[in-house]
Amino acid sequence: MSKIRVLVGTKKGAFILTADGTRQNWEVSGPHFAGWEMYHLKGSPADPNRIYASQTSGWFGQVIQRSDDGGKTWNPPGTKPEDLMGPGGMPNGKSNQFTYEGEVGTHKFYDGSQHPWEFKRIWHIEPSLTDPDTAYAGAEDAAIFKTTDGGKTWKELPGLRSAKGHLWQPGAGGMGLHTIILDPKDANRIYIAISAAGAFRTDDGGKTWKPINRGLKSKYELPDPDAEVGHCVHRIAMHPSRPGVLFMQKHWNVLRTDNAGDQWTDVGGNLPSDFGFPIDVHFHEPETIYVVPIKNDSEHFPPEGKLRVYRSRTGGNQWEPLTKGLPQQDCYVNVLRDAMAVDQLDPCGIYFGTTGGQVYGSANGGDTWNAIVRDLPAVLSVEVQTLK
């Protein structure tokens, strides 16, 4: 029988939730790295035992952790714990060796126009679909890095910052590169999204990039609502069978593209609010998508205090609320951009975590929900591994 592993990153550590294919009884492991912000954990599609994790602290800085046994043990690749400490047990500010066009460990780099870029944290890690030692990392300030040695060293793909990087501005949460999507049918095609710069695509493995923001409207954020860059994209999702079809949750608006981002169309339809953070796609139904609306950009909680996941079976425009098992009064949590994921079982399982520390799961495509665990620290990310 298949096994499900849910990887949960929180403000105060990481947790791993496991169950068999019935998804009824869950075991909870953690907290791993207690007290650290765990921005993102994700398993390798090429190796069920390999997991990468982004571990951040204002005291120690940024560390990439790696597990080769499904999260039982962890090790920063190429780094011993004592390497993080200086004289007298004080942190020395070093972490994994992220390289910015030849400069190592400075945590600052420049784009040639004297515009400073500061390395703060890794928002998202995206392992290769075919090689467990290759992965991509999205940073704040916005940059994309790649490792080919299992995380021992990371090198920037600097071509991204040539895509009008001097015009990018941070969103309310910082200028983070938070979404990385690898095309399963074209190894050279990668999609990324930055808050608040927009969505971008490379067709040559990261050497060159272009903005893919036509159709996005940002009349509240930009003087020019049709600007090529500067849009606050919150999240992008793709079904692996249709890599040219993408769905987007933006700072206002839910959208889709059917031509790899060359043109976007609004599909918010009858949503009570088209403001939110996560968006995901049913594993077996490419036209079934999920969002979690919140009230607006200043009140980050569900409309009317009712936690509702909305599902569209038509690729957008027509939406239905999914409420069974979710709190429908006095609920004022948020669901962050990386805090929703799906499994590969049939029926498809949907999972999301809240800033109130709950992780909810549905074993029937969202028809009913159960709290897998409660009272965790605020959830930053949720990812799922389906283990055969």
Q: Could you report how far apart the first and last alpha carbons of the chain are, in Å? A: 7
Residue 174's CB is within 10 A of a number of other CB atoms, namely 15
Tokens of 155: 């090198």
> Percentage of residues in the chain with pLDDT exceeding 70?
88
Task: Determine the Cα–Cα distance for residues 198 and 106; give it in Å rounded to an integer.
Answer: 27
Q: Is the four-CA dihedral 335, 195, 204, 247 of positive or negative sign? A: positive
Evaluate whether residue 170 is within a structural domain: no
Evaluate whether residue 179 is within a structural domain: no
Residue 261's CB is within 10 A of a number of other CB atoms, namely 22
Evaluate whether residue 136 is within a structural domain: yes
Nearest to 309 by CA among 383, 364, 375: 364
**Residue 124, domain extent:** 36-156
Evaluate whether residue 171 is within a structural domain: no
pLDDT over 60 (residue 102): no
Evaluate whether residue 48 is within a structural domain: yes
pLDDT (average), residues 173-187 = 95
Evaluate whether residue 294 is within a structural domain: no
pLDDT (average), residues 219-224 = 74
Evaluate whether residue 1 is within a structural domain: no
Our count of domains for the chain comes to: 1
| Reported pTM | 0.92
Q: How many helices (H) and strands (E) does the chain have?
A: 0, 31
Cα-based distances in Å from 101 to 122, 159, 161, 175, 178: 17, 10, 12, 20, 21
pLDDT in tens, 304-343: 999 999 999 999 999 999 999 999 999 999 999 999 999 9
pLDDT (average), residues 268-288 = 98
Residue 85 is classified by DSSP as B
pLDDT in tens, 190-214: 999 999 899 999 999 999 999 999 9
Please give the pLDDT value at position 117: 64
* Reported confidence tier of residue 171, pLDDT bands at 50, 70, 90: confident
Evaluate whether residue 70 is within a structural domain: yes
Strand partners, 353: 359
What are the two backbone dihedrals, phi and then psi, of residue 252, each rounded to the nearest 5 degrees?
Answer: 70, 125
pLDDT over 60 (residue 125): yes
* Reported confidence tier of residue 273, pLDDT bands at 50, 70, 90: very high
pLDDT (average), residues 152-178 = 89
pLDDT over 80 (residue 88): no
Please give the pLDDT value at position 110: 40
Nearest to 202 by CA among 184, 217, 183: 183
Measure the CA angle with vertex 278, ends 311 and 248; round to 5°.
80
* Reported confidence tier of residue 152, pLDDT bands at 50, 70, 90: confident
Please give the pLDDT value at position 280: 98
Nearest to 359 by CA among 42, 3, 5: 5
Distance of CA 70 to the CA centre of its chain: 20
Average pLDDT, the chain: 89
Q: Choose the weakest-confidence range: 45-49, 136-140, 169-173, 359-363.
A: 169-173
Residue 35 is classified by DSSP as T
68-84 per-residue burial string, b: 16 or more CB within 10 A, e: under 16: bebbeebebbebeeeeb
Tokens of 352: 């999301």
Residue 130's CB is within 10 A of a number of other CB atoms, namely 12
pLDDT (average), residues 50-63 = 86
